[in-house]
Amino acid sequence: MAADPAYSPANPRYWDPGDLLAEQRRQFDVCHGCRLCWNLCPSFPALFELTDSVDGELSKVDRADLRPVEDLCFQCKICWVVCPYTDPHEYDMDVPRLFQRAKFVRAKEEGVGFTAKLMADQDRMGKLGSMSAPLANATNRFGPARRVIELVAGVHRDATLPTYHRQTFEAWFQQRYGGRVFRPAGEPVRKVAFFTTCTVNYNAPEIAIAAMQVLEHNNVEVVLPPQVCCGMPMMDAGDFDGAQKKMEFNLRELSQFVDEGYDVVTPGPTCALTIRSEYPENSTDSETAKRVAEHTFELGHYLVRMARGKVLERDFKQGLGKVALHVACHTRAQSVGNNSGRLLGLLPDTEIASVEMCSGHDGTWGVKKDYHELSLQVGSKLFDNLQSSDPALIVTDCPLAAMQIEHAIGRRPVHTAQALAVAYGLDGN
């Protein structure tokens, strides 16, 4: 995204509140005159209401005025996708990164609250939730308990919370393959270091299991490196130091496999975007981060590359009928195209209708008491579009969007990996 090294966290200017305000005024002056993003998310209507109140004189706007605008940003990145003034344009616009910078600077000044830190530490939450899965799941669905959680943690009582599993994907992998490596019987066509994502590992292991079945069917060697959360939830909370520790751990582990000729593949759009885009910007070892980023792919992206290299098996046993495909915001922000649409388009007897709209979830933002109902309003156009075509199957590669979609319309989407496993006739176990 933004190319100016002056606005990297490694530069002291990045942390200067005065410099931050000057850059906000500069970029928001461009936004005030453009307004292409007015209907993308709640941040921009709030921003334009503010800039209109001062007749576009941004010198009259201070940081306290901008705080409500910043809090409405949930880092979907779609404004960056559609903005005509991003790098290499001379305006060098990157509003999501600017909002992220503002959150980091504010957290450095004020600290990060205990509850926000706890909710952002998905490794700890996932381990605790998996260890106590039946109790955790029952609590998350029990009305009186949810009212207490809302009071203590600020999580809306009606928001759908993730399901925990006693057997994580990591445990399944090691049990199935007797360790952290799957080696096909013959010479592998590709070698992959699988980055599971914390959400998939703890809350949706069926996605990673289906991904493994597809990779195994396609004669791909897979290693499961030691890994932690990509760090995005901590970035969302403003916890820069915590996010950086997660990044450094993952880079240390993943870089070893990249150096040995493996590609990093993840089923999660957010983790792919974070490793590909945020790691080079925020890591203390930018060279290693760039090297890992260049070899990191979302699962659909990687399988399309295999198809183009004529090494993807096309022995599909069945089609999927009419499919409504939600293209995740963080997939779009990688600027790699609609690869899951291309993959599903290879299947027989399958009709794809792609929908490029935001679900409004983001993770913690969409379940917060202050924003849950607003998040559903953001996703309403997506929900309407998914239902209007009356599809046989709904597909999304974002597990959080899947939760939001199910909450809104009562139908649980599947991941592209799961759809492909069905098409290949794999057993799902």
pLDDT (tens digit per residue) in 34-58: 999 999 999 999 999 999 999 999 9
Q: Using 50, 70 and 90 to split pLDDT, how confident is the model at 315?
A: very high
Give 6's pLDDT tier (boundaries 50, 70, 90).
low
Residues 278, 344, single domain; the answer is: no
d(CA 388, CA 382): 10
**Cβ-based neighbours of 275, under 8 Å, separated by 6 or more:** 195, 230, 250, 254, 264, 266, 292, 293, 296
Number of Cβ atoms within 10 Å of the Cβ of 237: 23
Cβ neighbour number for residue 185 with a 10 Å cutoff: 6
Residues 81, 50 within the same domain: yes
Let me know whether 120 and 193 are in one domain: no
Instruction: Tell whether 162 is covered by a domain.
Output: no
Share of the chain above pLDDT 70, in %: 98
Q: Supply the pLDDT for residue 118.
A: 86
Query: What's the pLDDT score for residue 8?
Result: 85
The answer on 283 and 325 residing in a single domain is no
Q: Where are the alpha helices (DSSP H) in 274-371?
A: 279-282, 286-294, 299-308, 329-332, 339-344, 364-367
Q: Which two tokens stand for residue 347?
A: 């299947």
Using DSSP, how many helices (H) and how many strands (E) does the chain show?
24, 8
Asked if the structure places residue 136 within a domain, the reply is yes
Query: Given this model, what pLDDT does residue 88 score?
Result: 92
Per-residue pLDDT, 69 = 96
Residue type, 182: F
- Are 417 and 210 in contact by the 8 Å Cβ rule? The answer is yes
Say yes or no: 135 and 232 in one domain: no
Distance between CA atoms of residues 358 and 84, nearest Å: 20
CA atoms of 120 and 112, how far apart (whole Å): 10
Q: Which two tokens stand for residue 269?
A: 């759009």
- Let me know whether 78 and 138 are in one domain: no
Residue 190 counted as domain residue = yes
Is 56 among the domain residues? yes
Q: Tens digits of per-residue pLDDT, 349-382?
A: 999 999 999 999 987 888 999 999 999 999 999 9
Both 84 and 181 in a single domain? no
Residues 182 and 302 in one domain: yes
In terms of Cβ atoms closer than 10 Å to its own Cβ (0-12, 13-18, 19+), residue 403 is buried
Task: Give the pLDDT score at 229.
Answer: 96
Nearest Cα neighbor of 394 from 363, 354, 426, 422 is 354
Question: What is the band of 3 on the pLDDT scale with cuts at 50, 70, 90?
Answer: very low
Tell me the residue range of the domain where 227 lies. 169-307
Flag the least confident range among 8-17, 246-255, 411-420.
8-17
CATH code, 365: 3.40.50
Look at residue 47 in the predicted model and tell me its pLDDT: 97
Indicate whether 371 belongs to any domain: yes
Average of per-residue pLDDT values in the chain:
94
Residue 44 lies in a domain: yes
Domain count, the chain: 4
Instruction: Look at residue 324 and give its three-state secondary structure.
Output: strand
Block residue for tokens 């057993």 = 427
Q: What amino acid is encoded at 204 in this protein?
A: A
pLDDT tens, 216-227? Answer: 999 999 999 999
Domain assignment present for residue 164? The answer is no
Banded model confidence at residue 284, pLDDT cuts 50, 70, 90: confident
DSSP symbols for 110-158? H---HHHHHHH-HHHHHHHHHHTHHHHHHHHT-HHHHHHHHHHH-B-TT
Does residue 161 sit within a domain? no
Whole-angstrom distance, CA of residue 242 vs CA of residue 239: 5
Q: Within this chain, do residues 188 and 301 fall inside the same structural domain, yes or no?
A: yes
If asked whether residues 31 and 126 sit together in one domain, one would say no
Strands in 321-326's sheet, in edge-to-edge order, are 350-355, 321-326, 393-396
Of 110, 134, 161, the domain-final residue: 110
Residue 429 pLDDT grade (very low, low, confident, very high; cuts 50, 70, 90): low
Instruction: Identify the DSSP state of 278.
Output: I
Task: Dig out the tokens for 388 from the structure.
Answer: 């209007």
Contacts of 326 (CB under 8 A, 6+ apart): 355, 357, 359, 382, 386, 394, 395, 396, 398, 401, 405, 413
Look at residue 186 in the predicted model and tell me its pLDDT: 87
User: Please, what is the Cα angle at 85 between 83 and 89, to 5 degrees?
Assistant: 145
Q: Domain boundary residue among 307, 331, 352? A: 307
pLDDT mean over 128-146: 93
User: What's the confidence (pLDDT) of residue 2?
Assistant: 41
Residue 119: per-residue pLDDT: 87
Task: Report the pLDDT averaged over residues 177-186.
Answer: 94
Residues 140, 92: one domain?
A: no
Are 15 and 106 members of one domain? yes
